[in-house]
Amino acid sequence: MTTFDDIIYEVNKKIEEDSFNEEKKKISAGECELLDKTVTFLDIDTDSSGMAVIRYDDEGEVKVSLTDKHLKYFDSLKNKKVYFSGIKTYDYEKMMEKWYIRTIVDVTGREESLVITNKLTEDEKLKFQKSIEKFSPEIRRDLCDKKIALADKKAVNENDGCQIALYSSRDEMEAYYDIVKKVMPKEFRSVYESSRLKSKKISSSEEKTNYIRVMSDILEFDWINNAEYKYIDVEALQEKIGKKHIGYNQQLNEIYTELRASNISKVVPKTLCFIGNPDTGINKLARTIASSIGTGYSIINLAGADFGENEPLIGSSKIYINAKAGFIYDCIKEAGLRGVLVIEDFNLYESNIRSLMTPLLNKTTYMDMFAEVKIDLSNMLVIVTCSDIKKIPQHVRANMTTIYFQDLEEREIVEIINKVIVPKYCKEYGLDFPQNIPVESCKTLIYKHANMNMDKLDSMIRSIVVKTVAKGDKSFPDYSIKPISDYKEEDYEKIRNKYVREITETEHKFFNCYFEYPECIQKKAVKLFNILNFEKNDGLREHAIDVIHYISNIFKPNDKSLVMGSVIEELSKSQYIQNDFAERIEAAILSKELGNNVNRMTVIGLKGKAGTGKSSAAISVAKALNRNFIKINVGGGGGAEVINGCNKKNYNSAPSLIIKELSKSGHGCYSDVIILDEIDKSTPDFMNTLYEFLDPNEEYFYDNYLECFIPKNNFLVMLTFNDISSIPIPIRDRMEIIEYSSYSNSDKKSIITDYVLPKLKTNFNIKDISIDSEALDLYLKNYDISPGIRNAERDFEYILMRIARQNNCTFESVDVHIDQNDIKYTLGKNRTVGLDGIPQLSIGKCGMAQALAVTTSGIGVLMAVETVVNPYQDKNIVITGLLEGSCLESVSVACCFISKYLKKELPKLHIHITEGMKKDGPSAGVTIAMSILSCLLEKPIANISFTGSIDIYGHIRPVGSVFEKCIAAERCGVNTIILPSESYKGLVSEKKDERLSIKMIPVDTIEEVISYVWGK
């Protein structure tokens, strides 16, 4: 509304303008300059023509100028600040400037910012100054600042905050509104003006107050800084982030690219969604970006908040007393419509809160229940941090730029320690930081003390700084000299060797012993701990706990070298050493060490009959190498899960038996001795998996339950089996096979005397124990028929228990002596019945020869081959007894050779083999031939046993299990055994002949046999 004063001002201005233009016409354009100056008016005088000569202060310099005005024009301006406009020339006659004044204004009371600005014309300044004279100095000053800022929108002062609290009265609010309404969005102007109108009409004081509050809320937006797109200084932001955040270069470059594209297009990027665990620092990064861009920003973190009702968030209706805008509206107001909104830990919000936040994530529109203004969020930069993207609806994710922040790499954390965390606290507490913390000490901090938790790491370093200051030191400790492990308080060995199951103890053990785990296990465990910290799915958490329990109890390989002779020494303590068994084991282990063949797993196969000490020998090897051992019996059961485990999705899922057994002690190693027992009785499925496990080209095997690779290069795998023919050839090729033969009688005498009885003496605390040589011979001849020594231990323990019962169930003050009666009475009947198949009445008769065979359990037996001439039978040859397979062929071959040897047709023969056992091999060929010859030549055969196969030319071929057959002959009292030369050479080469007390005659042809038995 135009006032009378305004009309008078406009008239006077018009008169002055016309007068100035008339004077201006008299002056040449080339001789004048523009006059636009504010000075302090000091004094006035006149020249000879009566025109005023003024003296003034121009920025501290006193000057004098002629004017085209009379004295009265300058009344009441003395010692005041005055603005002059017009043109000026130079009067060469009087040697001073002459001013042709257009306007002169007293600006003594004008705001300083309004005086010095060049963004407004003097006319604009004069009108604006006049419009704000009625307000207080604080209001005038703030309105001038806002007016100047709006005159040039790009020149915004970052320190210029909104101080709307100054505008408490309606007139003050209206004055501010008149300034900012030109940059205020239409929807805000409509609501403001509507609220202003209703506040005048409504009689209810409560509602009127609420409408005025709506107006005030609208004016509290920073409309000046949000008038247009603000350029983002990406280089400055990059520099600031580089000082506080290290690592994640790829993710940060993606953010910088989004912001640079925004500067070019003048369009704010889509919502930035940072996905990662809180330890990755995504919240801190989001705040750094928000505070560095140069606009307003607001932080929303409602993790764990439960409001019950939505009013605190979305506001309440104006019809209620004390109604007000909601929290979300206030945050938008704080940030501004072109500001940054950071929504932290979104996945931890309640579902109703997440629903209310959806418009913010989509950057569409938002309406508060109190303000009732439809806010356009498209110009806001929204940053959301979240550790579980599943909590963000799929349709919302489509409108986001998702950036994944994985766990920092170790080198990045070390860099953060030395470039960010330590310098930060050293600066805060006034410490020098002359030298970086060494990498190894940083690792100790990261794993042993901070458990890979960045917040804990920050706290730990601050604690070190505080302790250093408390000691009076001026510099951060030099950990290249003093190890940081000095801060460790607990006994390391106790922690390491303890078996842990409960998750807290497991976590404590894992991070204290972090460096003792292989790298692949370290990475897997860190991921699992993150699942425990941030995963909501109970099934995944339980699986993670179980996996951590297993892998935290197994450490990386023991790198101790083999001490030569240690295996031999340890084996000699616990068992009877056969041949070069110990030397061959040492050679297999030494081969890997000397050849630096770290990528090859040592695999030894122990072949031998049951009870010969294969498993106990493997255990002794583990002790000799100072390694733990695990023993898994795979005979008859178990498939691939024995080695590879069972997938967690399956019923009764579990890790491999190898991992289970290794973790039981609490300090297993990936270099322990693995004993797989009875593999020849395992399933085909297990054999397939074992073939992969023994692959020398693979450094790891995969456990399906743990879902990670396990290092296997340093395992010593010892496989035991009885029958090598049951093991596929590809598996045999991947192992060093060492044969563990049966024990001879002399072996068993030594073992019982030197190992079994002393062991029982120690176990039962017996003062002294002894045995008659006759009793020992009796036991070996009639009771101990097995190839091993396992039954002997049980038998003698049983004998001792009978003696103890006779002595009031104790061995105190008793010297135990075992004689023949003890053995007979305790063990009962002869156990060799049926194994010696030679009828006593047949001994010394023509046509009877002694054959040797071996049972499936590896026990040698003696049987008789009896031949008689029977002209009354229908067939030329009748065969009876348990003969099968190639043994029947041996009869035909023998008959063919004898007929040729005697050069006559054979009579009708009946050949019978006594029922010692089934005979299906060719090794009875020599015995059958000698039996037929003895019958036809009517020459008896002495106490000699035979073994060996023959061909039709009379050549004797080698056969198997010769050592066991010799043991059987020795047990049955046979003095001599005739055997193939090749088989004999095998006994000699393995030094088995030294363990036998029987005469052995090697032969190559049947003629040599005949010559030895009956002479030339």
Catalogue the active-site residues.
Answer: 923, 965
Q: Which residues of 286-300 are buried (b: 16+ CB within 10 A; e: fewer)?
A: bbbbbbbbbbbbbbb
Q: What is the DSSP letter of 545?
A: H
Query: By three-state DSSP, how is residue 53 classified?
Result: strand
Residues 557, 671: Cα–Cα separation, whole Å: 5
Distance in angstroms (rounded) separating the CA atoms of residues 143 and 771: 118
Backbone angles phi, psi at 96, to 5 degrees: -160, 165
| Cβ contacts of 434-443, under 8 Å, gap ≥ 24 | 434/475, 434/476, 434/478, 435/478, 435/480, 437/479, 437/484, 438/479, 438/480, 439/414, 441/479, 441/480, 441/483, 441/484, 442/413, 442/414, 442/417, 442/418, 443/410, 443/414, 443/514, 443/515
Q: Which positions ≥6 away from 925 have C-beta within 8 Å?
A: 890, 893, 894, 948, 949, 950, 956
Residue 686 CB-half CA count within 13 A: 22
Q: Which candidate, 772, 780, 777, 778, places its Cα nearest to that of 819?
A: 772
Question: Sign of the C-alpha dihedral, residues 294, 295, 296, 298?
Answer: negative
Q: Report how far apart, in Å, the C-alpha atoms of 212 and of each of 191, 370, 547, 606, 631 are.
A: 11, 12, 63, 95, 84
CA distance 726 to 958: 22
What's the burial of 40, exposed, middle or buried (CB within 10 Å: 0-12/13-18/19+)?
middle
The answer to whether 551 and 705 have CB atoms below 8 angstroms apart is: no
Helix (H, G, I), strand (E, B) or coil at 281: coil
Q: How far apart are CA 356 and CA 344, in angstroms?
A: 15
Write the DSSP string, 518-530.
-HHHHHHHHHHHH
| 935, 965 contact by CB (below 8 A) | no
Contacts with 471 (C-beta within 8 Å, 6 or more apart), sequence order: none
CB 444 within 8 A of CB 485: yes
What's the rounded Cα separation, in Å, for the pair 869 and 876? Answer: 10
How many Å separate Cα 940 from the centre of its chain? Answer: 80
Instruction: For residues 220 and 163, give the distance between their C-alpha atoms in angstroms, rounded to a whole number.
Output: 8
Please say whether the beta carbons of 722 and 677 come within 8 A.
no
Identify the CA nearest to 270 among candidates 407, 457, 399, 120: 399
SS3 at position 404: strand
Farthest CA pair distance, the chain: 183
Residue 499 and residue 512 in contact, taking contact as beta carbons nearer than 8 Å: no
d(CA 612, CA 610): 6
Do residues 735 and 719 touch, judged by C-beta distance below 8 A? yes
Could you give the CA distance from residue 884 to residue 891 in angstroms, rounded to a whole number? 11
Compute the distance between CA of residue 649 and CA of residue 630 in angstroms, rounded to an integer: 27
Residue 358, helix vs strand vs coil: helix
**Backbone torsions φ then ψ of 724, nearest 5 degrees:** -70, -20
Neighbours of 185 (CB within 10 A): 17
